[in-house]
Amino acid sequence: MNIATGRCLCGAIQFEARGKPLWVAYCHCHSCRRSTGAPVTTFVGYLRSQIHYTSGERKTYNSSPGVRRSFCPDCGTPLCYEADWCADEIHLYISTLDAPEHFTPQLHVHRAERIAWLELDDSLPRYESFSRPSQGPEP
């Protein structure tokens, strides 16, 4: 079984993601950008049952109706996105993983909300809002 490990900046929160992820995607939405302070975010989606927190307790807040975002209460690192529309999934911020280079993005979502000066030079599918092929993101 593949096990990906990750943590917050200070190491107080640590986790394991077991098995194959559902998808990997860039999100350009306003909410994700504000949550991270970055011009684009990248998520890796897993089933809730695949994620195991091995150290610490994350803090969660409701960022919008039906959406929860978790972070480390000590250093503030954003950790994940959870929503009612996909209650069986957890979307991890890819940069919290110890080896994010092992997870290649597959698509862009919410491109209509992207910052105009940001254009990533790749040939991935781009969705103006949200698309959920089989199982996929809507952060």
CATH code, domain carrying 25: 2.170.150.70
Domain residues for the domain of 108 are 3-113
Q: What percent of the chain has pLDDT over 90?
A: 81
Tokens standing for 83? 């929503």
* Residue among 74, 102, 79 at smallest CA distance from 2: 102
Report the pLDDT value the prediction gives residue 125, as an integer from 0 to 100. Answer: 79
Residues 117, 53: Cα–Cα separation, whole Å: 37
Q: Is residue 121 part of a domain?
A: no
Instruction: Confirm whether pTM is higher than 0.85.
Output: yes
Tally the domains of the chain: 1
Do residues 53 and 15 lie in contact, with contact meaning Cβ atoms separated by under 8 Å? yes
Confidence of residue 135 (pLDDT cuts 50, 70, 90): very low
For 22-75, how does the pLDDT look when each residue is reduced to its tens digit (9 = 90+)?
Answer: 999 999 999 999 999 999 999 999 999 999 999 999 999 999 999 999 999 999
Distance from CA of residue 65 to its chain's centroid?
Answer: 18
| Interval 98-120 mean pLDDT | 93
Q: Is residue 118 part of a domain?
A: no
Q: Is residue 49 part of a domain?
A: yes
Q: Is residue 122 part of a domain?
A: no
Q: Is residue 132 part of a domain?
A: no
Assess whether pLDDT exceeds 90 at residue 130.
Answer: no
For 58-71, how does the pLDDT look when each residue is reduced to its tens digit (9 = 90+)?
Answer: 999 999 999 999 99
Tokens standing for 112? 């209509």
* Residue among 113, 90, 106 at smallest CA distance from 30: 113
Q: Is residue 22 part of a domain?
A: yes
